[in-house]
């Protein structure tokens, strides 16, 4: 059974772009329903990082110590699975290069809509079109979609390098790819910067829990 806890403990690695596309093709073309269902579940589990990231973003946007949210984390896994299935059907191989980007975009939009609905109920409105909520997911394309990186940048007062590293992590770029793009940054500096970001996240969480 898929729920938030099982996704959080998931050990299946994310596959290469080609392997992910293979799962999608099987889900679309196979005439065996059991094979289709199995592949859908396996692929969803392999995408656990992007699922968890977006669910956590939703709960960050609606956190309110005086009000309970409409959705539980397990509810959001179900919502994410519904969106994921729609993405499987709508993904165009000749138009998009990366299914993870496609899914992340769809989930990001959905989380903003659900958070807006939740916050309106509690008289706390998020405007998804404010600059602080916009972030370009750059995947050899020119798409600009709603995401939440700039919100975190302002929240944690990140340096320029910390902002670049955070965007890279949100886009799930591999370290070697990042270092190739930013050849002035050494591996040691990258990991030190990443630790600084984690420390700032931890400080804010500690403040929230105090």
- 94/96 Cα distance (integer angstroms): 6
- 12/153 Cα distance (integer angstroms): 30
pLDDT by residue, tens only, the chain of 210 residues: 689 999 989 888 877 888 888 888 999 889 999 999 999 999 999 999 999 999 998 888 776 544 567 788 999 999 999 999 999 998 888 777 788 888 988 998 888 888 878 777 765 444 443 333 333 333 333 333 334 455 555 556 778 898 888 878 766 678 888 999 999 999 999 999 988 887 876 665 455 444
| HEC string for 101-115 | HHHHHHHHHHHHHHH
| pTM exceeds 0.75, yes or no | no
Contacts of 156 (CB under 8 A, 6+ apart): 162, 197, 200, 201, 204
Predicted pLDDT at 34? 92
Tokens of 201: 């996240």
- 204/45 Cα distance (integer angstroms): 29
Predicted pLDDT at 60? 82
- 77/64 Cα distance (integer angstroms): 20
Bridge partner list, 135: 145
Tokens of 120: 């309106």
Domain residue ranges of the chain, discontinuous segments joined by +? 1-130, 148-210
């Amino acid at each position: 059974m898929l729920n938030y806890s099982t996704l959080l403990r998931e050990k299946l690695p994310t596959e290469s772009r080609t392997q992910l596309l293979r799962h999608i093709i099987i889900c679309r073309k196979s005439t065996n329903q059991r094979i289709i269902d199995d592949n859908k579940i396996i692929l969803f589990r392999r995408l656990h990082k992007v699922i968890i990231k977006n669910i956590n973003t939703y709960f960050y946007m609606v956190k309110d110590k005086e009000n309970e949210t409409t959705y539980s984390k397990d509810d959001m896994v179900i919502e994410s699975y519904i969106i994921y299935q729609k993405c499987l059907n709508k993904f165009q191989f000749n138009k998009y290069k990366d299914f993870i980007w496609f899914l992340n975009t769809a989930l990001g939009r959905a989380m903003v809509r659900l958070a807006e609905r939740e916050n309106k109920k509690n008289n706390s409105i998020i405007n998804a079109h404010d600059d602080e909520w916009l972030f370009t997911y750059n995947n050899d394309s020119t798409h600009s979609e709603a995401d939440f990186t700039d919100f975190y940048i302002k929240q944690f007062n990140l340096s320029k390098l910390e902002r670049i590293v955070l965007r890279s992590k949100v886009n799930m770029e591999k370290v070697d790819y990042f270092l190739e793009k930013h050849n002035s940054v050494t591996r040691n500096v990258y990991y030190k910067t990443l630790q600084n970001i984690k420390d700032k996240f931890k400080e804010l969480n500690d403040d929230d829990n105090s």
